[in-house]
A and B are shown apart, each in its own frame.
Chain A
Amino acid sequence: MGDSTQEVVLAADGRPLKQSLRRALMRQKMRAVMLVAPLLIFVIVTFIVPILSMLFRSVENDIVANTIPGTVIELSEWDGSTGEPPHEDVYRNLFIDLFKAEEAKQHTRLGSRLNYEQSGLSSLFRTTGRSLDGIGELWQDPLEDIDPAFEDGAFWYEMMSGSGGEGLLEQRRGLMAAMSGEEMTGDVGFVPSQQIVEMLPWTARAYTDFAIWAAIQDKDTVSEEDPWESVYGALGMDLTNPETISAINSYGGPGANALKAAAENIDQLPQEGFREAFVAEDDDWGSSDIWGTIKLYSPNMTPGYFLNSVDLQLTPEGIETKPANEQIYTKLFIRTLVMALIITASCIVLGYPVAWLLSNLPMRTSSLLMILVLLPFWTSLLVRTSAWKVLLQQQGVINEILVWLGFVNDADRLILMNNATGTVIAMTHILLPFMVLPLYSVMKTIPPSYQRAAKSLGATNWTAFWRVYFPQSVPGIGAGSILVFILAIGYYITPEIVGGTDGVFISNRIAYHISSSLNWGLAAALGSILLVVVLGLYWCYDKIVGIDNVKLGG
């Protein structure tokens, strides 16, 4: 027998049996896949992909590096702990980066993003965006005074263009595309001259940015357009470098005269650098706090949103807890969990007897009762919740009845709404069917003979219920609890309407960040945490109760 197990078993046609079996099963599998495919594709496209992309937003942070790429690179050298503002080169890069970002109207987005981390940054970026032209003109005006040729777009084009600078062109094109989020493909009609790129590196960058934008975004001919103010600023930067001055003196290409004139008259150009120019526009640019925040949030991925979600914050000194008056999310998470548990418990307490009755009544009566249970499903959620509003308010039906019956003093009517009580009452009612239905379908399968057997063996009614019936209904409680708890933990509309401030859930905060504050990253982080918490609880549930102990029926 030992040998025969080694042999390959053959099917009737001589093929190995395993292979034949696989072939036979293949068709079944294919059919199964085909049957599932439409729903699967639908779910992937409309559910899983959006959720994944949403979750990705919770760590995504490329907006800083995309919008001010040069600044970010330069800033990495800066040590914020000294309290000194960064090096002049950082401001130069900031000027060039922000200028093109302002052209593309992207600087305000960056401002809003950084404002989540430090308030005030949004307006700083907005006002600075407006004054960039002015900063550029500090250099443009004297340059044009030194040589009027600088006023002419065609002159600039002739001076800057040439050959050999394709590398720079493509690099700037890539940065521009990343910053604006647009394709930026197409012919620019301009290639920087290699000689200029080497001699005037800042100017070459600024002009190339201008050329790309003018040609592709504005659909203009580069040579006919006057350059941005940033190009003059960039030339000013180049002219502060003594090597550039000596290179200009030995330069003989296009625009050599104008450049030499500028090089000889650098004393007419502003003597201060760009740091002073920015600080003059807004003191904040001289603050190492602001720069610390920018540096902290310059990597492409950030834990910032997640830290924010648990009331922590990233500071240059490391991770710190937020000030007590800004801590809201941990409290909200705990409240959401506790209230979802309370709602689940009250659903069990209210739903169990009903389900028991339903499963033990004759068919006709139980169908009628079942309709009553399902009735809430046929009414709009919004209508039901609004109805609770009518019932629960202080001048509402419940309070009126209680006052009329004399249980409650007219002066101190119960506050049943705009607090946690309201949320619990309304949500218990709304989620009750999700508890009753699984319970009913499980209880329906418990034969009455079990309880009879227990009684015949000497058990009282209570023992028969508690020892025999109840354990068998636990899978229904499990299924109902999971359903109700998970639905409750993500509930939004009802707490929004009857919850006031004390009764809102974390989902209301998520909705607020999605639709009002537009801080999608934070919303995504909060959502991710919620998802992880639910999965974690689900895992605990599986460990404690066992997920195969959950039955929705049969």
Chain B
Amino acid sequence: MADGASNEAFVEFERVQKSYDGESLVVKDLNLTMPKGEFLTMLGPSGSGKTTCLMMLAGFETATHGDIRLGGVSINDIPPHKRGIGMVFQNYALFPHMTIAENLAFPLEVRKMGKAEQEEKVKRALDMVEMGSFGGRRPAQLSGGQQQRVALARALVFEPELVLMDEPLGALDKQLREKMQFEITYLAHQLGITTVYVTHDQTEALTMSDRVAVFDDGRIQQLAAPDQLYEAPENSFVAQFIGENNTLEGVIKEIKGNTCVVQLDDGEVIDAVPVNVSQVGERTRVSIRPERVEYNRERLHEDAHTLKAEVLEFIYMGDIFRTRLRVAGNDEFVIKTRNAPDQVRLKPGQQIEIGWLAEDCRALDA
């Protein structure tokens, strides 16, 4: 099943809108197509509409307008229990009055499966999440991580083709979270399940997903693979929301094909890639990732524009150095450098010159 990913649409949102109060739209004109086997993450700040989308897909909310299709069939009028979608909830929602085995058997039981088959499947599912010996316990006797595994096993035990996860790792500590991120991705790919994962944690989104849909204001701002999202954000929101980002504001001076010249507000001039700017004279926000900033003149292009910068703060973080600079009147300009033996450690107050490759610097909407 791992190679089951095809380009045929499995989950489709078509012009979906959702309003709770009849006055404002929580989800505005959502269009999304997922092929089978894909791991798609809906990422966004709270209130951006991502959970609502998930709930509409699960059937707990109805779309105010538009069509949601699963395997080509509209599921708007199908009640949740007939959709056959596995779901992992934020607080796991393991039934406290049942043992782990009973929890897992529940979906099989309501499908009227034979006892022997039930036991067999429950055992396999528990083994899959390495919880084989916990079948007789109750949820309250398990740690957060264990409950998480059980919740996952329960969502998978009836072999749904689509699994939804609503911030499933939110309650775990960092280390456990990272471990579970890996395990969930591994399982999802192993079983070839189509997964829709909702989170507000961008690291989680980047590390786990095949594609990430960044939500804001009820719309998908960008839907792309993690590397695309990070390296080629299509607008200021995505650039700001994903990873650490430096922003400089200015006006487009000149556009020449794939590059443009931007005059910053303090008069300095830099090179950038025009992304969603089209006219000279338009205001723009220039986005540059901290690790792409160079202050070693030798590594820069000869005719690259450089800027003067003053070192404000130097933070030693072990694997990297994080240096805060004042650049073009912006005190929050951050650069990150690898802790290599020959790396220069900057000191506060030092005056340096910084620059970058024009393709790393993206001129976005203001």
Interface residues in chain A, defined as those with a beta carbon under 8 Å from any beta carbon in chain B: 447, 449-450, 452-461, 463-464, 467-468, 471-472
Contact = CB atoms under 8 A, between A and B. Distances in A.
B227 to A, nearest CB: 32
Given A467-B106, A471-B97, A472-B97, A458 B91 contact: no
Contact of A452 (B80, B82, B83, B111): B80
Given A463-B110, A467-B106, A453 B87 contact: yes
A458 B111 contact: yes
B297 interface: no
B81 A447 contact: no
Contacts of B10: none
Contacts of B85: 456
Nearest to B82: A458
Contact of A457 (B91, B97, B107): B107
B58 interface: yes
B134 to A, nearest CB: 19
B93 A458 contact: no
Nearest to A464: B81
Given A463-B110, A467-B106, A456 B86 contact: yes
Given A449-B90, A459-B81, A454 B106 contact: yes
13 contacts: A449-B90, A450-B93, A452-B80, A455-B81, A456-B86, A456-B164, A457-B154, A458-B81, A458-B158, A467-B106, A468-B95, A471-B97, A472-B96
Nearest to B95: A468
A477 to B, nearest CB: 13
Given A455-B79, A459-B81, A467-B106, 5 more contacts: A449-B93, A452-B80, A455-B59, A455-B60, A468-B95
A457 B158 contact: yes
B260 to A, nearest CB: 49
B93 A452 contact: yes
- Top 8 nearest A-B pairs (CB, nearest first) are A457-B107, A453-B93, A456-B87, A449-B93, A455-B80, A471-B97, A455-B81, A458-B110
B106 A456 contact: no
B165 to A, nearest CB: 11
Nearest to B104: A457
Contacts of B97: 471-472
B198 to A, nearest CB: 14
B144 interface: no
Contacts of A464: 81
B241 interface: no
Classify the secondary structure of A's interface with B. helix
Most B CB within 10 A of own CB, among A450, A453, A454, A456: A456
Given A457-B107, A458-B111, A463-B110, A452 B84 contact: no
Contacts of B314: none
Nearest to B55: A452
Contacts of A463: 110
Nearest to A475: B97
B53 to A, nearest CB: 15
Contacts of B164: 456
A461 B82 CA distance: 11
A452 B60 contact: yes
B237 to A, nearest CB: 30
Contacts of B86: 456-457
A65 B321 CA distance: 99
Contacts of B90: 449
A467 B109 CA distance: 11
B106 A449 contact: no
B21 to A, nearest CB: 12
A452 B154 CA distance: 14
Interface in B75-121: 79-87, 89-91, 93, 95-97, 106-107, 110-111
A467 B58 CA distance: 20
Most chain A Cβ neighbours within 10 Å, of B79, B83, B87? B87
Contacts of B58: 452, 456
A370 to B, nearest CB: 24
A459 to B, nearest CB: 5
A551 to B, nearest CB: 12
Contacts of A455: 59-60, 79-81
A453 B165 CA distance: 11
Contacts of A467: 106
Contacts of A457: 81, 86-87, 106-107, 110, 154-155, 158
A495 to B, nearest CB: 37
Contacts of B154: 457
B155 to A, nearest CB: 8
Contacts of A458: 81-82, 84, 107, 110-111, 158
B81 A456 contact: yes
A468 B93 CA distance: 11
A461 B81 CA distance: 8
B107 A452 contact: no
A430 B158 CA distance: 48
B228 to A, nearest CB: 32
Contact of A459 (B59, B87, B110): B110
B11 to A, nearest CB: 15
B60 to A, nearest CB: 6
A452 B58 CA distance: 9
A460 B60 CA distance: 13
B102 to A, nearest CB: 10
B69 to A, nearest CB: 18
Nearest to B112: A458
Nearest to B157: A457
B81 A449 contact: no
Given A458-B84, A458-B107, A453 B89 contact: yes
Nearest to B85: A456
A363 to B, nearest CB: 16
Contacts of A459: 81, 106-107, 110
B91 A456 contact: no
Most buried by B among A450, A461, A463, A464: A450
